[in-house]
A and B are shown apart, each in its own frame.
Chain A
């Protein structure tokens, strides 16, 4: 039962352009969403997050948008740089009391072409 889905396994973008990574979820009880970036043989690195009470959060080149009615979030990277090439994971946390575990998507491999 995959509660967080990233339907695009890969994405290629030209350097300087916008990268848009998408994520859908099925559980309306999720209250906190995060994006992680992962290089091979390393652990996920936290990028940006958004609470369910917001619809947008921005940090430098990274912006996350949340559409609760559509159960959809997206990560925008502008401008994209070759160093952004990695696998990006979307994660969501349940709102149940005491529940703090994250549900992860299967990842999208972003390639930024110089």
Chain B
């Protein structure tokens, strides 16, 4: 019973490089969410996707950040030209997208460090 998978678990990038974070949802889940957690803070919503569609990107920074969930393969969160302030833990969650009580299950996270 594989849960939400994320890779890599740790990612180190230098300022100006690109970071690509991957998320495979739980089996049977078609809804994917990305959250970011800064040190000593709670998780902050970034983007909500279904297969091939971005449903809600209201939490996504306007520049340098993008997300996709293609028909085949994992969801990707892409950060271009990373800066030190992008250092954080990035968590992916998935759900079945049920009406009413739809529970999100989280992956182990990717810890991004920007040098």
User: What is the interface of chain A, defined by CB distance below 8 A to chain B?
Assistant: 4, 6, 32, 34, 36, 41-46, 49, 51, 89, 91, 93, 98-107
* Selected A-B contacts with CB under 8 Å, 23 pairs: A4-B42, A32-B101, A32-B102, A36-B106, A41-B111, A43-B4, A43-B109, A44-B43, A45-B106, A46-B103, A46-B105, A89-B42, A89-B43, A91-B43, A98-B56, A101-B45, A102-B45, A103-B45, A104-B35, A104-B42, A104-B43, A105-B42, A106-B40
- For B41, the chain A residues whose CB sits under 8 A away are 106
Q: How far is the CB of A19 from chain B (nearest CB, A)?
A: 19
**Contact of B69 with A by CB under 8 A:** no
**Contact of B108 with A by CB under 8 A:** yes
B55 touches A100 (CB 8 A): yes
**B52-108 residues at the A interface, CB under 8 angstroms:** 55-56, 58-59, 91, 95, 97, 100-108
Considering the chains assembled together, what is the distance between the CA atoms of A36 and B105 in angstroms? 10
Q: How far is the CB of B97 from chain A (nearest CB, A)?
A: 7
- 5 closest pairs, A vs B, by CB? A104-B42, A43-B106, A101-B45, A104-B43, A106-B42
- For A41, the chain B residues whose CB sits under 8 A away are 108-109, 111
Considering the chains assembled together, what is the distance between the CA atoms of A100 and B93 in angstroms? 11
Q: For chain B, which range describes its interface: under 10, 10 to 19, 20 to 34, or 35 or more residues?
A: 20 to 34
**Contact of B31 with A by CB under 8 A:** yes
Considering the chains assembled together, what is the distance between the CA atoms of A102 and B59 in angstroms? 11
Considering the chains assembled together, what is the distance between the CA atoms of A89 and B37 in angstroms? 12
B103 touches A49 (CB 8 A): yes
Residue of A nearest to B10 (CB): A41
Residue of A nearest to B50 (CB): A100
A100 touches B91 (CB 8 A): no
Residue of A nearest to B6 (CB): A43
Given A44-B43, A100-B102, 15 more A-B residue pairs with CB atoms under 8 Å apart are: A4-B42, A41-B108, A43-B109, A45-B106, A46-B103, A89-B42, A91-B43, A93-B102, A100-B31, A100-B55, A101-B45, A101-B58, A102-B43, A103-B45, A104-B42
Q: How far is the CB of B70 from chain A (nearest CB, A)?
A: 20
B33 touches A43 (CB 8 A): no
